[in-house]
Amino acid sequence: MFAWLEKHFNGPQTLGESRFFWASFLAGCLFLLCLPLFADEYEVGNYTYFLLHAFLALGLSLIWGQGNILSFGQMVFFGIGGYSYGVFSVNLLKITQNTFFSLAMAILFASCCAGLLGYFLFYGGVSGVYVTIITMVSTMILETFMAQTAGPQWTVGLMPLGGYNGMTNIPPLQLNLGGEFPYEFRDARLYYLVAALAIAAYLGLRKLANSRYGNALVAVGSNPLRSEMLGYDIRMIQFAAFTIAGALAAASGGLYAAWGNYINPSVMGLTTAAMPVVWVAFGGRRCLLGCVVSALSLQYFSQCLSADGSQYALVIQGGVLMLMIMFIPEGVTPPLGRLLGRLASGIFRSGAGRRLPIERLENNGA
């Protein structure tokens, strides 16, 4: 098992490659599997809510951590994913008899939107802080636009967009297996589905990050001019990463709409748009798993704080972000991982390590 994980998912561009890391990862998966057994329905719903944001964090970690492009507008694609899931599922449910097709269509549609924005950004030569500003503005624009869609003229097929009150009666994820009632994904079923998808997305992104494309993305993020001189089409590479991150954000949005049966424009507001950035900065943007763990724990933390008034939660999270940038710019998980790795190195045989085979060969030979 370890050998299989190490062979397929270790590489130079991802952190956490030791036996200890993979053992902890498997323990984490087991924990996720067992969690619903010890939690009531409300708590399972809550955990599903936290987990469905993992895709958002993974996408941002890919473009910001690997590609060095800070997008402040991931919630745009989250919103588009959520709204279009609502529209597709209501309009297509009778025809397709399930809403998974609608979820796929929603992700596809949002990916096209991300691709379109990415095309104008990267093929237009926009870089650095301007990408951040434009993506931030795009989230504000879409929030403002969706907030004014209250009238009956703003109905797509059977689904009214709902203005600031939001889109209601969004169907849950369901399959019609031929019985009297459809097989609905709610509570623990939805939880397991989201957890399985999140683990698959994490492993998939690890594979991508360590592929030739992943190396090229890191190279472009590190030094665009050098990469171009080596023959890399940096615009294409950045455009692709931005689109993948958009698709992941849309997956979060679609699942969110299916989970709560509801979405409103405030998901694209400035406060919510800042959240993924906080999670990823806190977790360590270069560490995919760190970003997921950080997203889950900060949401949990925020919810605990919210019991005493949500404004405090935001102020504290903002403070956390400022402290992080000042004192641990690489995020919490890389140094924490190194510390734990050192502590555990006596227990676990060291795995393949995060270096390339050539680097090990060279160092041993030297």
Partner 1 sequence: MHNPLLQLEGVTKRFGGVTAVENITLNVFIRELRCVIGPNGAGKSTLFRLITGMYPPTGGEIFYNGYNITSLSTFERARHGISMKFQTPMVYYDRTVGQNVLISLQRHYDLEKAGKMAVNFMKNFGLAGMAGRLAGEVAHGYRQWLEICMAVATNPELLLLDEPTAGMSAEETARTAELIHRLNDLGMTILVIDHDMEFVRLLNCDLTVLHLGKFFAQGKLSEIQAHAGVRDIYLGKR
State the residues that interact with partner 1 by CB under 8 A: 12, 211-212, 215-216, 218-219, 222-223, 225-234, 355-363, 365-366
Residue 79 near residue 268 (C-beta atoms within 8 A): yes
In whole angstroms, the minimum distance from the beta carbon of 82 to partner 1 comes to: 36
Residue 258 near residue 172 (C-beta atoms within 8 A): yes
β-pairing, 159-160 vs 155-156, is antiparallel
Complex with partner 1: residue 225 or 326, whichever CB lies closer: 225
Distance CA 204, CA 138 (A): 28
First-residue to last-residue Cα distance in the chain: 32
Complex with partner 1: residue 43 or 233, whichever CB lies closer: 233
In whole angstroms, the minimum distance from the beta carbon of 10 to partner 1 comes to: 12
Complex with partner 1: residue 225 or 307, whichever CB lies closer: 225
Phi and psi angles of residue 20, each rounded to the nearest 5 degrees, phi first: -60, -40
In whole angstroms, the minimum distance from the beta carbon of 67 to partner 1 comes to: 13
Residue 144 near residue 236 (C-beta atoms within 8 A): no
Complex with partner 1: residue 19 or 235, whichever CB lies closer: 235
Residue 9 near residue 205 (C-beta atoms within 8 A): no
In whole angstroms, the minimum distance from the beta carbon of 74 to partner 1 comes to: 24
> Chain-centre distance of CA 310, in angstroms?
23
In whole angstroms, the minimum distance from the beta carbon of 267 to partner 1 comes to: 34
Complex with partner 1: residue 12 or 45, whichever CB lies closer: 12
In whole angstroms, the minimum distance from the beta carbon of 365 to partner 1 comes to: 7
Phi and psi angles of residue 179, each rounded to the nearest 5 degrees, phi first: -80, -170
Tokens of 51: 């987990």
Complex with partner 1: residue 347 or 366, whichever CB lies closer: 366
